[in-house]
Structure 1
Amino acid sequence: MVEAQTWTTRRMSNPRLEAEQVVDIPATPTGDVRNNNIGSLLSPNLLTALIIASWYFSNIGVLLLNKYLLSYYGYRYPIFLTMLHMLSCAAYSFIAIHWLEIVPFQHIVSRRQFLKIAALSAIFCFSVVCGNTSLRYLPVSFNQAIGATTPFFTAVFAFLITCKKETAEVYLALLPVVFGIVLASNSEPLFHLFGFLVCVGSTAGRALKSVVQGILLTSEAEKLHSMNLLLYMAPMAAVILLPFTLYIEGNITAITMEKAREDSFIVFLLIGNATVAYLVNLTNFLVTKHTSALTLQVLGNAKAAVAAVVSVLIFRNPVTVMGMTGFAVTIMGVVLYSEAKKRSKVTAH
């Protein structure tokens, strides 16, 4: 599973996976993170550079691997692929928290908190599955362009659900975000209506999860660190996805085993894909820890453009000048939106 774009985006398997598709889960630290031995051997600047490079590699890597598996390799089972991502995130999160003790372990304190996490898991499933499905029909570059509109959906859901109003400057900054994607859509040579709709659904789902998470886990007693939240959400998401993959995609385990007998390389592809999907979440947390949430947001804006360029170079999908212009306008709108939000918070305080 992935959501490469802003669970802020960012997004687990969803290639957008703020982005997301991924699995973009805002950090809510509740304790000091233990220092690791590697950090003591490297200078702070070098360590931060390595973490940022790893974040870029994992985010772009999961997008490209998903695209390759779903479109070029012929493994057309996005729901099962997302479920593998969730199982991988659950296993690696358990190791990171209980064995490596990267962050302190937190318990679920009540049945109400459990139900809230389950609700977030359902939204998360929807977002990541839609994101992975869209990669079957759309090039990564266009997928990333659509994913950049996450701030627009976040503002809409925040207003509809919480009646939270932004300043006029913030809403004006959203206009180029929408206008850019309209330009890119009209000139996309490989435009596919169903792929476009599920990609928009993935982006909206990521934004909805961000807003709902802010509502459900607000009290100090219920707040969970991002890695603990992933530890609980991932297995819940896998359980939710299991009946859907069996009903829609058939006996996928037998199909995968048959494919593995014909070509053992698929085993390495799936294991590598699931591992990189977890690294998206781990590096997302590490970048925030060693820099700031604002830096992560800026890096996310640049990541969408880098992923688009890399995907065009690798998959050779056709692009147009108008499409690139639309993508650039959308990214510019996201930057303006971030600046407007920052100024509105300063004014409010």
Structure 2
Amino acid sequence: MNSLPAAVLMVWLTNNIGVTLLNKAAFATVDFKYPFMLTSVHMSCNSMGTQCYQAWKRREQLKLPSTASEEQEALVAGWTGKKKQFTPEQKKAILAYSVIFSLNIAIGNLSLRHVSVNFNQVMRSLVPAITLGVGILQGKAFSMYRRYSVGVVVLGVLFACYGDMTYSAVGFMVTVFCVLLAAAKVTVSGEMLTGKLKMHPIDLLGRMAPLALLQCSLISLLSGEVSSIASRWTTDLSPFVNPQPFIIVLMSGFASFTLNISSLYANKLTSPLTLCIAANVKQVIMIATSTILFETPINFLNGLGILIVLTGSFWYSYMSLMEKHQDKK
């Protein structure tokens, strides 16, 4: 692996960990208990960031000399702002997906408000199991190896969630909803990117972020978050009174956009297996870091469950990649 893919992978890994820890810090450290407003900030940063990214891409392409090599052209290749035209039915599908997109992020943030990072990450490991279950109901075939690996993950989740791991009944239900939304997002986004629409990831993000911003801002207003923030503005939320909440929330929003961009480049410049390994490394680092930072209690059974989840997740990802590689031959 040369220096560029390694650097991009490191940025992706750092952002992946940073977004979750910054979101948890907003809820647990500075008492910014507003998941829908936090998601609105994320979507604002993604909307503005997407526009800046497109402008930068167009500028890079204009600067590219006519004698540029294929490698140089590849480095600046990407979506530069020419949007596809869709039928009314397809526009309705995009709007419906935007609801899943925004709720997935917002409910994920709401989950982090009520449960520990460890519990959130362990439960998110069930996404492949749900996706596989939906696929079986749709008549898709899956190898026994993938089914066994999902069984290992489910067993690990049961161990990890038993006993002292920090979560409440409300937090458990919210996190289950979060996992269901994450599975739905994986399924639908795959259709958006590779199905009939075949949207470019930047085009998809550029369309989703403004819609999600509008939806989450409305929910934030109706749920009373906006009025609560207004009542606390002059005491502890104004950056002129206490800059810490403002800085953490803004950093979280910026990191959410750079995560999306670095994810695109990581997919382009590295192999799926590399990303698979990096994702498991991320889970290990995130669980270890959050345990130290937020003092999350873990007993022996919880620790064993987390280890089983990580092993099962890696096994599932590895077998999925190997099967896709065999199908291409």
SS at match of 2:130: helix
2:130 aligns with 153
Shift of residue 138, structure 1, vs aligned partner: 1.5
Equivalent positions of 1:205-216 (< 5 A) are 205-216=181-192
Q: Secondary structure at the match of 1:136?
A: helix
Identical aligned residues as a percent: 26
Return the alpha-carbon distance in structure 1 between the equivalents of residues 233 and 20 of structure 2: 24
Change beyond 3 A, Cα 1:291–1:237: same
Q: In 2, distance between residues paired with 1:63 and 1:140?
A: 8
Taking the aligned partners of 2:118 and 2:225, their CA distance within structure 1 comes to 30
Q: Which residue of 2 aligns with 1:305?
A: 284
Match of 1:134 among 92, 104, 111: 111
Query: Match of 1:322?
Result: 301
Normalized against structure 2, the TM-score is what?
A: 0.85
CA distance in 2, matches of 1:217, 1:305: 29
**Residue ranges of structure 2 left out of the alignment (5+ in a row):** 59-75
**Within the alignment, does 1:293 sit opposite 2:250 as a pair?**
no
- 1:117 matches 2:94: yes
Runs (5+) with no aligned partner, structure 1: 1-43
Q: Per-residue displacement from partner, 1:45-67 (whole Å, max 9, x unpaired)?
A: 22222212211211111111111
CA contact (8 A) 1:149 1:177 kept: yes
Based on CA coordinates, which of the two structures has the bigger radius of gyration?
2
Q: Distance in 2 between matches of 1:277 and 1:348?
A: 34
1:202-224: per-residue Cα shift (whole Å, max 9, x none)? Answer: 2221111121233455456x211
Q: Residue 148 of structure 1 contacts residue 304 of structure 1 at CA under 8 Å; is this kept in 2? A: no
CA contact (8 A) 1:121 1:237 kept: yes
Asked if 2 retains the 8 angstrom alpha-carbon contact of 1:79 and 1:245, the reply is yes
2:32 is aligned with 1:57: no
Q: Hey, what does 1:183 align to over in structure 2?
A: 159
CA change 1:251–1:62 in 2 (3 A) is same
Structure 2 residue aligned with 1:233: 208
Instruction: Identify the match of residue 203 of structure 1 among 179, 185, 189.
Output: 179
Q: Is the 8 A contact 1:148 1:301 kept in 2?
A: no
CA contact (8 A) 2:36 2:106 kept: yes
Deviations 1:57-89 (A, max 9, x none): 111111111111112211100011011101111
CA drift at 1:151: 0.8
Q: Could you say which residue in structure 2 is the equivalent of 1:99?
A: 56
Alpha carbons 1:55, 1:284 under 8 Å: kept: yes
Q: Quick one: structure 1 residues 343 and 314, their matched pair in 2 at CA, closer, same or farther if it must change by over 3 Å?
A: same
Say if 1:96 and 1:217 are closer, same or farther in 2 by CA, change over 3 A.
closer
In the aligned structure 2, how far is the partner of 1:250 from the partner of 1:315?
A: 25
Q: Which residue in 1 is equivalent to 2:43? A: 86
Q: Is the 8 A contact 1:71 1:135 kept in 2?
A: no
Matched-pair contact (CA < 8 Å) for 1:77–1:249? no
* 2: CA distance, partners of 1:70 / 1:114: 35
Cα distance in 2 for residues equivalent to 1:63 and 1:250: 21
2: CA distance, partners of 1:140 / 1:325 = 17
- 292 and 106 in structure 1: CA distance in 2 versus 1, 3 angstrom threshold: farther
Q: What is the Cα deviation at residue 335 of structure 1?
A: 1.7
**Cα distance between partner residues in 2 of 1:293 and 1:231:** 24
- Residue 100 of structure 1 aligns to a residue whose secondary structure is helix
Report the Cα offset of residue 157 of structure 1: 2.3
What CA distance in whole angstroms lies between the structure 2 residues aligned with 1:290 and 1:267? 34
**AA of the residue aligned to 1:186:** Y
Between stretches 65-74 and 102-111, larger displacement belongs to: 102-111
The structure where helix makes up a greater share of residues is 2
TM-score under structure 1 length normalisation: 0.81
Larger RCO, structure (CA 8 Å, separation 6 or more): 2
Kept in 1: contact 2:273–2:318 (CA 8 A):
no
Does the Cα contact within 8 Å between 1:157 and 1:207 map onto a contact in 2? no
- Give the Cα–Cα distance (whole angstroms) in 1 for the partners of residues 287 and 82 of structure 2: 38
The yes-or-no answer on 1:336 pairing with 2:325 is no
RMSD: 2.0
Of 147, 160, 168, which residue of structure 2 is paired with 1:171?
147
Aligned length: 304
Tell me what 1:246 maps to.
Answer: 221
Change in Cα spacing, 1:168 to 1:96, as seen in structure 2 (3 Å) is same
